Amino acid sequence: MKNFNRSADRIRQKKQLFLAREQKIIDAARELCLRGRFSDITVSKIAARAGIGKGTIYKHFDSKVQIFLRIVLDYEDKINKILIKSNASNSISGVLLEPQVYLQTKLADPELARLIHRLENYLNGLKDKPSFSELHLLRNANAEILGKAVRSSSENRMVADLPDQYHHLACWSLAYAAIELYANENIDWNIGVDECLDLFSEILRTISCDSKTRINHSKWKYD
């Protein structure tokens, strides 16, 4: 029995080390993507950044394209987990949280959100582009969570009675608009990410709800 337990512990430890090394590869690739052109990044550069051998990377991924795809998938999976948690809270409180949570997740790291968008465009433009089936499943799941929240809120007259797609696209569009505007060096916002979130959440409520909401523009300006 003791030998069995020791063997199980070794297997568990090896798995933990394997996953930790895999995350190290993903983190290294993401850092390189934030600093340079995707086409210039190689498996060798990722290995050097991660501090491991090039051959070791192929124990985890077939190519840099698979690593890039994993960065996108992990980001979308994180949003999915956050929305699921928010959906559970919404069921208890009856408050429409999901759209604000979606915006908050995107704006928590605008640079990373922009990177994911650029990476996806890069992967889509490849001659031998990877399969996006897993990404589509995650996004459909996220859309369903948002749709469920909207349908419930529409029944309670918390938002306008419009098709789910209207609210989902409004939320998605505002998230990317907020990211691009926040990253625009020609705009002096004079506000932090939290205040930016409040501003765009207010806009979202304005276009989603029957009641009119006044928006305060005084904290940001154009140069």
CATH class assigned to 63-222: mainly alpha
At 209 the pLDDT is 52
The answer to whether 50 and 24 are in contact (CB under 8 A) is: yes
End-to-end CA distance of the chain: 72
What are the φ/ψ torsions at residue 78 (nearest 5 degrees)?
-60, -45
At 193 the pLDDT is 59
At 53 the pLDDT is 94
What are the φ/ψ torsions at residue 221 (nearest 5 degrees)?
-150, 165
The segments of the chain whose pLDDT lies below 70 read 1-5, 87-99, 149-172, 182-223
What is the distance between the alpha carbons of residues 205 and 211, in angstroms, rounded to a whole number? 9
What is the distance between the alpha carbons of residues 14 and 112, in angstroms, rounded to a whole number? 30
At 158 the pLDDT is 47
User: Do the domains at 1-61 and 63-222 have one common CATH topology?
Assistant: no
Q: Indicate the domain borders of the chain.
A: 1-61, 63-222
Write out the DSSP string of the chain.
-HHHHHHHHHHHHHHHHHHHHHHHHHHHHHHHHHHS-GGG--HHHHHHHHTS-HHHHTTT-SSHHHHHHHHHHHHHHHHHHHHHHHHHHHHHH----HHHHHHHHHHTSHHHHHHHHHHHHHHHTSTTPPP-HHHHHHHHHHHHHHHHHHHHHHHTTSS----HHHHHHHHHHHHHHHHHHHH-TTEE--S-HHHHHHHHHHHHHHHHSSS------TT-EE-
pTM, entire model: 0.76
At 87 the pLDDT is 67
Which fold would CATH assign to domain 1-61? Arc Repressor Mutant, subunit A (1.10.10)
At 200 the pLDDT is 63
At 211 the pLDDT is 39
